[in-house]
Amino acid sequence: MGGCAVRNTIRDLRFNHGEMTQQELADRIGVTRQTVNAIELGKYSPSLEVAFQIAAVFKVPLDQVFQYERAKR
């Protein structure tokens, strides 16, 4: 949106945390597995609350989970 993109490292973080499944992460942050999948694929930018919850699950700072990149024009 607005020529900008939010990238994330959730898939890598899940892999590095005992190969946590999307369902396990979804259960811990209170969303559906499909929503976790949509976030991972960049099809949905979560609310700040969910973004912080994801970071808390992996015990990392928010900017290690999400990176904001301005799209090249």
Partner 1 sequence: MEMSFREKSAWISLILILLVFGPYFWLVGRTFAGIGHVHAGTQFALITLFVVLEIVVHIAIAVQSPRDARAPKDEREILIDLMATRTAFYVLFGGALFSIFTMHFQLNVWQLSQMVLLSIVVAEVVKFGRQIVLFRRGF
Residue with tokens 């490292």, as numbered in its chain: 9
Q: Which positions touch partner 1 (CB under 8 A)?
A: 30-35, 37-38, 41-44, 46-47, 50
Closer by beta carbon to partner 1, 10 or else 31: 31
Picking from 40, 30, 33, 41, the residue whose alpha carbon sits closest to that of residue 10 is 40
CA distance 72 to 36: 27
Q: Which is nearer to partner 1, 13 or 29 (CB)?
A: 29
**Nearest distance from C-beta of residue 19 to partner 1, angstroms:** 19
State the CB neighbour count (10 A cutoff) for residue 30: 10
Shortest Cβ distance from residue 59 to partner 1 (Å)? Answer: 23
